[in-house]
Amino acid sequence: MPGLTKRLLLGRPVRSDRLGHTLLPKWLALPIFASDALSSVAYATQEILRVLAVGGLALLYLTPWVALAVVVLLAVVVVSYQQVVHAYPDGGGSYEVATRNLGPVAGLVAAGALMVDYTLTVAVSVASGIDNVISAAPSLNPYRVPIAMVTVLVLASVNLRGVKESGKAFALPTYAFIIGIVGVVGVGALRFMTGHPPVAESANFAIAPHSGGLAGLALVFVALRAFSSGCTALTGIEAVSNGVPAFRRPASRNASITLGLIGLIAIVMFGGITLLAIGARVHYADNTCDLVGFAGNCAATPQRTVIAQLAAAVFGAGSIPFYFIQAATALILVLAANTAFNGFPQLGALLAQRRYLPRQLHTRGDRLAFSNGILALALAAAGLLLAYKASVDALIHLYVLGVFTAFTLSQLGMVRHWQRTLTNERDPLARRRTRRSQTINAVGGALTAVVLVIVLITKFAEGAYLVVIAVPVFVLLMSAIRRHYDRVGQELQPQRTDMILPARVHALVLVGRLHRPAVRALTYARATRPDTITAITVNIDDEDTRRLQQDWSQWQISVPLTLIDSPYREITRPVLHHIRDLRTAAPRDIVAVYIPEYVVGRWWEQLLHNQSALRLKLRLLFEPGVMVISVPWQLASADIRSERLGRAGREQAARSPLRRGVVLEADRHPADV
Amino acid sequence: MPGLTKRLLLGRPVRSDRLGHTLLPKWLALPIFASDALSSVAYATQEILRVLAVGGLALLYLTPWVALAVVVLLAVVVVSYQQVVHAYPDGGGSYEVATRNLGPVAGLVAAGALMVDYTLTVAVSVASGIDNVISAAPSLNPYRVPIAMVTVLVLASVNLRGVKESGKAFALPTYAFIIGIVGVVGVGALRFMTGHPPVAESANFAIAPHSGGLAGLALVFVALRAFSSGCTALTGIEAVSNGVPAFRRPASRNASITLGLIGLIAIVMFGGITLLAIGARVHYADNTCDLVGFAGNCAATPQRTVIAQLAAAVFGAGSIPFYFIQAATALILVLAANTAFNGFPQLGALLAQRRYLPRQLHTRGDRLAFSNGILALALAAAGLLLAYKASVDALIHLYVLGVFTAFTLSQLGMVRHWQRTLTNERDPLARRRTRRSQTINAVGGALTAVVLVIVLITKFAEGAYLVVIAVPVFVLLMSAIRRHYDRVGQELQPQRTDMILPARVHALVLVGRLHRPAVRALTYARATRPDTITAITVNIDDEDTRRLQQDWSQWQISVPLTLIDSPYREITRPVLHHIRDLRTAAPRDIVAVYIPEYVVGRWWEQLLHNQSALRLKLRLLFEPGVMVISVPWQLASADIRSERLGRAGREQAARSPLRRGVVLEADRHPADV
């Protein structure tokens, strides 16, 4: 990326020693880590209603029971994860816990599940956010996919700027969303009490049932599938445990409190929305065309989201609170995607550090963010949104499987963890506390394992099978990468014999014609005083070779010139054969190949010059006992580029104090002191 | 391209010293150079009829007069070019003639016009060939564009195999086409004489006139436009004069005879087809829907070509001779494109040799063909065919302008050429011969200049304006390239001061951690006995740096280790600053930067290792007084690639005698002895 564009998008580079200063206070951590968990309120209720609609209006009586099951599960998982946060203040979440307690394979499975999960968080949240925008502005419906792409792009660039600034940008919308939803639920409840109950616009629609009169196993299956869809409300709880090191000290305590708060708010909001939806008789069909009484073209006009219908019913469609709630909902959903942009690159960096992923993922960018991880996530999510046309219905089926895999592995790992703690613990009070934690995690693990099986069965054919394929593929890939790094590491272990100096150095200077780069290569080669020195030229064109020989004697070059024949007009192979002959004659010697190059400043100038030198250089690297020496000659135009780079350096040096000032100013926030 | 695929498509490589053996005897030269000129018979008549159809049937009486003008012009141009072929036995055609006699700018204009012309020859011929296939097999109509792409691909690969083999492959179809057309015209004439005149399927169609009752200037304009379209019959005459060096000795004489023969055959065929089309009352409309009486959906069903209508009228649609003629016509049209695949790369190589085009165009490939020129032409032609949906009507408007620009410049140049010859010639007989040649070229030049103006006026708005833009752009581009090469050539002129040896060599060995590549770089650097040697490491991560320092003392490395600080986690800039400080302290010394690299054998392994060394290397090339030394360490997997390349080399060596045998066998043709 050219310098200026990069700076405009990302801001100025940040010094490594500023890393500690970007830790989060609770009031900033809550919006960052809560957005995912809270935003699922925007679609969890809707997904339950949608699944139950296969039976027409007949099965809607199940809604409160399904929602209750989700709430109970949510509470259990939050309490379970509070144990995790306390036990692992270094963070690492499910991957860390599974690896330490259940072994590396379990850890990799958890990591693979989390990576899938993060990607889907971005895709589902962005898609649902756009649904809520379209509920307020239906004319945007045809631009669903382009809007999704732009959103992902913006998220990626915000995150490339670094974690702290994104935290601040996201605080306001999260709190606005909480206020908005609590407002809808509160005012809605008030209207019930005062005898003016809100009525949803879909209250009088009937739904054409897909399968009438469900009973027995089929009924249980539909109820369980509704429950699976409702479990999307649990996504995002994991994020806090992954991000403990980003919290202010004491990190565990602050993270645990934040997690508890998030759980509480999520339960209140999800419960409230669901009860209000039942009361206002929101009807939401799997397929818009199943709605009996729907106005407009059901193939082109989308249903309004449940949130939009409730806001309209309580405050009136087109009122200021309605637009406020839609805006806050859309924003928090987009910001939920941001949780993944925090978690995914950190997990990637951890895996890269342990050599399970390419080490580029462990490189912090100019702004201290793990740039490559952010880019990888953005690409994957954009790909999913394109493939599934930014449809929440389609994406949601892939979603919860990864989440519950990670949950289950994490909780089972915790049970093991506490068991190990017990063997070393003698203090009865501490033992009792540990026992309690173990019980909580055992219950949590058992519950999430059951839910995992339910999700697998009820969602398998609708898309979850893709996750069942993707996770093992990730695990195998990561194992292969680790094996590669291990093998290379072993191969590169130095040995005493490596220190033995080679006997002699033979310098070969490759010349085509006698221009300044060639002359410079000859003088530089002579300056290194090798044991032997020869200039070699490959005879491709007899006339050129004759001219070279004439120049050679005219300029009285003292280095002998050797001709190499090349009947097939190649350069690389004849040179290679010549070097091999030299090496065979004296295997303990090394060959130094000097290649004159002239460098140009503009990319198009590169096209006008043959690339044979480059190809030869690359090939020579595969030859043992050879070193390849580029002797560059800078053409006038090369100064352009050199100066541009030099100027950038000077500017950066001049800017340093200013930058430090800016960062300090950002730090001067009361909560930061 | 991987080795095997390349060999299958292109055949085995050919030694440079076989170049002389690929010269062409007349019987092989005729089909190669005739296909373009003769194949235009397939569309020239049709284009005249199409233009005259704007007046309905009212203007068709002009057809024989327009055709007569084309025939006269054709004869004049052929005789003119015979003078060129004699005067310039080295070939080079219009570009050569214009450059030598009218100066470099005129030469470049001619070259630009020719390049446009060659590209359009490929596009128009392929499109018309497909029209003739569709006339015999209408169900292929929807696949027009894909068929065109495949045809261009096949042509390119045949030509990448080398000129001789293509000559043989093309002899049969050319002669078949001549026999087929002469057969239609002959049998048609016989049927007129015996009182059973052939009647075209379109004989009873009326044509809805676009502009009724044309008179005065408008009539003249339409007649001239019909003439412009008919002038496509002249395309391809140029090819012989460009290709003189490819003929057997005496090249000029053989080329002249071949050119005369081609002209004669073209006149007979064009005249015959036009007379027969008038006699059989072929009606051809610009737009199929203007045909009154046309059966079928005029928007989807194409008109049959004039050739197809005549073959059907004379021999009966669906008869064996009908299919024979359609096949031969389609084939020769595709082969006409091959003329361009002969001429374009040769012109490109000539221009590259004179530094007007990138020198890659002057590089002969494995099979002695100018591979890059062939690829460039294939890409350009495929682009045109895509853009114009392989429609002859659309492409033809761009066609003749380039051709006549080259014609005119060539003939004007010849007038100058003979003038110069006259000043040195005293022998009256020779002077008379020269005067005669000059007169011929003057008449030719005047005529083609008039036609050029006619074409420009009558075709400008319909597409010729694109050529008017493209040719100057080419000319400017070629001048810019030449200026670049000249400037670089001047800059690279060696000077005595270049020979002064630098005072001292400072070796810097860049290390990240102490693995075998680093150890090898250290020992190699020490083996070159520099004046000073230091190892430098950039401190990105404190822990890594500490480990490196520990290893350093543990392995008792005698080279001192210098730490360079990098607060922004960069490698390139701090190293650059360090080198600049060294250079400032001792400007007459040079710095040798040793970079340890480990090379891997598989492309995906490359992804798993950081590319920072590569980026640093590229940047160091822009630094004066620095040489960059790559010390490679071959990992085990690198052997895979090294062995693959080694094996290819051994196989090639083993195959050499066999290859020579094959070439000799191909040479053992009677006409070759």
What CATH number is given to the structural domain containing A615? 3.40.50.620
Judge: B629–A627 Cβ closer than 8 Å, yes or no: yes
> Which of A362, A499, A604 is the best mutation test for B, with the most CBs of B within 10 A?
A499
Chain B contacts of A493, Cβ < 8 Å? 515-516
Do B472 and B545 share a domain, yes or no? no
Chain A contacts of B599, Cβ < 8 Å? 621-622
Confidence grade of residue A496 (pLDDT, cut at 50, 70, 90): confident
Exposure class string for A212-237: b at 16+ Cβ within 10 A, else e? eebeeeeeeebbbbbbbbbbbbbbbb
Chain A contacts of B505, Cβ < 8 Å? 527-528
**Residue A494 falls inside a structural domain:** no
Q: What does the pLDDT read at residue B187? A: 95
Do A407 and A547 share a domain, yes or no? no
Chain B contacts of A638, Cβ < 8 Å? 622
Q: What does the pLDDT read at residue A569? A: 73
Four-point Cα dihedral A74, A79, A82, A84, nearest 10: -90
Confidence grade of residue A90 (pLDDT, cut at 50, 70, 90): confident
Chain B contacts of A526, Cβ < 8 Å? 501
How many C-beta atoms surround the C-beta of residue B588 within 10 A? 11
Chain B contacts of A575, Cβ < 8 Å? none
pLDDT tens column, A28-69: 888 878 888 899 988 999 999 999 988 778 888 999 999 999
Confidence grade of residue A544 (pLDDT, cut at 50, 70, 90): confident
Do B63 and B185 share a domain, yes or no? yes
**Residue A201 falls inside a structural domain:** yes
Q: A3-10: long-range contacts (C-beta < 8 A, 24 or more apart)?
A: A3/A648, A6/A366, A9/A157, A9/A160, A9/A161, A10/A157, A10/A160, A10/A161, A10/A365, A10/A366, A10/A367
Q: Which residue of A has its CA nearest to B481?
A: A608
Cβ(B638)–Cβ(B599) below 8 Å? yes
Chain A contacts of B633, Cβ < 8 Å? 492
Q: State yes or no: pLDDT of A553 exceeds 80.
A: yes
Which of A499, A527, A642 is the closest to B505 by Cβ? Answer: A527
CB within 8 Å of B374: residues ≥ 6 apart: B156, B159, B160, B341, B344, B345
The mean-pLDDT minimum among A129-143, A296-310, A648-662, B297-311 falls in: A648-662
Which of B364, B524, B652 is the closest to A590 by Cβ? Answer: B524
Distance from CA of B359 to the nearest CA of A (A): 7
Q: Is B635 helix (H, G, I), strand (E, B) or coil?
A: coil
Judge: A598–B492 Cβ closer than 8 Å, yes or no: yes
Do A228 and A313 share a domain, yes or no? yes
Judge: A624–B634 Cβ closer than 8 Å, yes or no: yes
Which of A16, A622, A641 is the closest to B622 by Cβ? Answer: A641
pLDDT tens column, A362-411: 776 655 567 888 999 999 999 999 999 888 888 888 888 999 999 999 99
Confidence grade of residue A17 (pLDDT, cut at 50, 70, 90): low
Q: What does the pLDDT read at residue B278? A: 93
CATH of the domain at B364: 1.20.1740.10
Q: What does the pLDDT read at residue B420? A: 92
Judge: A492–B517 Cβ closer than 8 Å, yes or no: yes
The mean-pLDDT minimum among A490-499, A520-529, B35-44 falls in: A490-499
Do A542 and A473 share a domain, yes or no? no
Do B67 and B160 share a domain, yes or no? yes
Q: What does the pLDDT read at residue A536? A: 93
Judge: A502–B523 Cβ closer than 8 Å, yes or no: yes
Q: Which residue of B has its CA nearest to A558?
A: B499
Dihedral sign for Cα atoms in the order A605, A609, A611, A617: negative
**Residue B300 falls inside a structural domain:** yes
What is the distance between the alpha carbons of residues A556 and B510, in angstroms, rounded to a whole number?
A: 37
Nearest CA among A64, A47, A74 for reference residue A237: A74
pLDDT tens column, B558-581: 899 999 988 777 788 889 999 999
Q: Could you give phi then psi for residue B427, rounded to 5 degrees?
A: -60, 120
Do B626 and B649 share a domain, yes or no? no
Distance from CA of A51 to the nearest CA of B (A): 44
Give the residue ranges of chain B where pLDDT is below 50: 1-2, 19, 648-673
Domain limits for position B662? 643-672
Number of domains comprising chain A: 3
DSSP B259-289: HHHHHHHHHHHHHHHHHHHHHTT----SSGG
Q: What does the pLDDT read at residue B652? A: 42
Do B537 and B663 share a domain, yes or no? no
> Which of A6, A359, A483, A498 is the best mutation test for B, with the most CBs of B within 10 A?
A498
Judge: B523–A498 Cβ closer than 8 Å, yes or no: yes
Cβ(A566)–Cβ(B11) below 8 Å? no
Nearest CA among B122, B115, B125 for reference residue B40: B125
Do B256 and B141 share a domain, yes or no? yes
Q: What does the pLDDT read at residue B152? A: 94
Angle made by CA atoms A207, A213, A218, in degrees to the nearest 5: 105
Mean pLDDT of chain A: 84
Q: State yes or no: pLDDT of A658 exceeds 60.
A: no
The share of chain A scoring above pLDDT 90, in percent, equals 46
Confidence grade of residue A644 (pLDDT, cut at 50, 70, 90): low
Q: Which residue of A has its CA nearest to B639?
A: A622
Q: What does the pLDDT read at residue A148? A: 94
Q: Which residue of A has its CA nearest to B540?
A: A16
Do A450 and A542 share a domain, yes or no? no
How much is the average pLDDT of A183-200? 93
What is the distance between the alpha carbons of residues A37 and A83, in angstroms, rounded to a whole number?
A: 18
Distance from CA of B360 to the nearest CA of A (A): 6
Chain A contacts of B366, Cβ < 8 Å? 568
Quote ipTM for the complex: 0.71
**Residue A453 falls inside a structural domain:** yes
CATH of the domain at B623: 3.40.50
Q: The tokens of A525 are what?
A: 């080669």
**Residue B581 falls inside a structural domain:** yes
How much is the average pLDDT of A158-163? 73
Chain B contacts of A604, Cβ < 8 Å? none
Q: What does the pLDDT read at residue B15? A: 55
**Residue A605 falls inside a structural domain:** yes
Q: What does the pLDDT read at residue B648? A: 47
**Residue B40 falls inside a structural domain:** yes
Do A277 and A414 share a domain, yes or no? yes
Do A578 and A617 share a domain, yes or no? yes
- Name the burial class of residue A198, with classes exposed (0-12), middle (13-18) and buried (19+) by CB atoms within 10 angstroms of its CB: buried
Judge: B526–A599 Cβ closer than 8 Å, yes or no: no
Cβ(B312)–Cβ(B324) below 8 Å? no
DSSP A7-39: HHHH-S---GGGGGGGPBPHHHHHHHHHHHHHH
Q: What does the pLDDT read at residue A3? A: 53
Tell me, what DSSP letter sits at residue A198? -
